[in-house]
Every structure is written in C-alpha cells, then in structure tokens.
C-alpha cells in the first residue's frame, strides 16, 4: 500500500494545471478500480470548481436542477469533519429518494465515501469515491483504502489551491527532534503506545509532539502530517 500512495503523491506533485488535475482524477478512478472519483470545492466567495468522472449529462442536469440544495451528501458532509459513508446519511426525505433514483439511473454508483475538507479562507471541499457493489464489497474496499483516500483528499485539495490561487500552505516551520522522531515512528507503522514506549515518554507527551508537528505542517490530521513530512523530506521511513 505504501508504494501505491507514494505513486499518487508523486503524480500529484507533477500536476501544474487544472486540465492535468482532471486527468489525475480519472487516473485515480482507474487506480482504485471504482466507478467514479469526484473532487468538488467552493471558496468563501461561493465560486465552485470540480474535477470528476461523472457523465457530463448528469453534471449538467445536477446543476440545472440546483440539486446541491437537497443532496444529502453535500448537506451531510458540510456538518461533518470526518469521512462519511453515504449509507450514514439521511435519505428519508421524498426529494432525497427521488434525487437518488435519478442519480442511479445516470450511472452514479450505489456506494459512496466522501471526505469533507476545510481549507483556508472559508474554503470547503469534498473528495468522493463512488462505486456500484454490495455492502460487503464496499466495506472491504473502505477498510483497505480509507487511509489512502484521506491523504489523497488533502493533497488534491492543496494542489487545487496552488493552481488556482497560489500556495495556501502554512509557511514552513522547522520541526523539533522529538516531533520528527514521533512522526517517523508513526510513519513506520507503530501505534501511539509503541511510539511512546520507544521514545520513553508518556502517550500524553507524544500527543503533544504530534499535535505541535501537525500545526507546523498545516496538516488536517496525524496521517496527513506524516505524509507531508515524508513528501517534503523531513522524515524518511
């Protein structure tokens, strides 16, 4: 799995234009063997951008009908910070069920996982993978790839920001030796308890180092912090 995510990060680093970002989204769809991959962002001014693999006819229809105002994925994810499986959302309203039926007819898969992203200056984005399969197959897929998808969502959002508005990354701040040690051990696959034992510190102290490193790197979570530290050469695993 490490080689797969490293390949994705390398490809993302080479992207320079929005057209290349669209092609990368299509490549991700094929890499993870799902029906669709979708990246959609809206900045504070309400200006949207999307790179996705849905049929253009469905995208046009969605926009014409202003389905964003009733789409349970958009509404539900806007209130959340963690990855959301579409089955966890509220589809009970008649309008939501009718919308879902139209989406399925248009080739949208019955399974979906969306990662909400909060960017700088009020930006909100969603990264989604969508597929047609059974609940059992989908549970197997998300269990195997969730960490990858979280990392990809944040890298993809950062790349989109860089292309459209210049880099919004937090200015680089050096990590302390202990912060580097903590991220390195986690990057090697150790649990927090194992890393704390190796460093001969408490888990609470380890958490302080991790949170400090995460803040300095501008990372959304610990996994993202490890990936950013690896990508910029601060740690080698």
Task: Answer for the pair 116, 124: CB distance below 8 angstroms, yes or no.
Answer: yes
**Contact assessment for residue 124 and residue 45, using Cβ atoms and an 8 Å cutoff:** no
For residue 212, the domain's CATH number is 1.10.10.10
pLDDT of 20 reads 94
Query: Residue 172 domain-assigned?
Result: no
Domain boundary among 165, 191, 217: 165
User: End of a domain among 122, 145, 165?
Assistant: 165
206-237: per-residue pLDDT in tens? 988 888 888 788 777 788 888 878 877 788 76
Instruction: Tell me: do 38 and 125 sit in the same domain.
Output: yes
237 found inside a domain: no
Same-domain check for residues 14 and 130: yes
pLDDT of residue 205: 87
Residue 184 and residue 157 share a domain: no
Nearest-angstrom CA–CA distance, 172 and 154: 17
Are 15 and 104 contained in the same domain? yes
Instruction: Tell me whether residue 171 is in a domain.
Output: no
Residues 157 and 188 in one domain: no
Please give the pLDDT value at position 1: 47
If asked whether residues 106 and 144 sit together in one domain, one would say yes
Residue 87 β-bridge partners = none
Domain that holds residue 21: 2-165
Q: Are residues 17 and 53 in the same domain?
A: yes
Residue 51 has pLDDT above 90, yes or no: yes
Helix (H, G, I), strand (E, B) or coil at 39: strand
How far is C-alpha 5 from the chain's CA centre?
13
Nearest to 36 by CA among 75, 65, 1, 62: 62
């Amino acid at each position: 799995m490490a080689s797969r995510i490293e390949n994705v990060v390398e490809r993302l680093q080479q992207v320079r234009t929005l057209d290349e970002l669209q092609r990368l989204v299509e490549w991700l769809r094929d890499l993870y063997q799902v029906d669709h991959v979708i990246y959609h962002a809206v900045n504070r001014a309400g200006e949207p951008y999307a790179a996705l693999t849905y049929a253009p006819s469905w995208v046009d229809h969605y926009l014409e009908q202003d389905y964003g105002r009733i789409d349970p994925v958009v509404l539900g994810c806007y209130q959340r910070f963690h990855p959301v499986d579409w089955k966890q959302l509220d589809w009970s309203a008649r309008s939501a069920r009718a919308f879902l039926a139209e989406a399925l007819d248009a080739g949208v898969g019955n399974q979906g996982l969306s990662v909400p992203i909060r960017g700088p200056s009020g930006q909100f984005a969603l990264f989604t993978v969508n597929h047609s399969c059974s609940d059992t197959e989908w549970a197997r897929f998300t269990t195997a790839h969730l960490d990858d998808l979280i990392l990809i969502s944040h890298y993809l959002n950062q790349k989109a920001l860089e292309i459209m508005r210049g880099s919004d990354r937090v200015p680089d701040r050096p990590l302390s030796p202990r912060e580097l040690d903590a991220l390195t051990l986690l990057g090697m696959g150790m649990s927090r308890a194992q890393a704390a034992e190796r460093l001969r510190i408490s888990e609470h102290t380890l958490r302080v180092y991790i949170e400090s490193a995460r803040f300095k790197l501008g990372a959304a979570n610990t996994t993202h912090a490890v990936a950013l530290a690896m990508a910029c050469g601060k740690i080698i695993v």
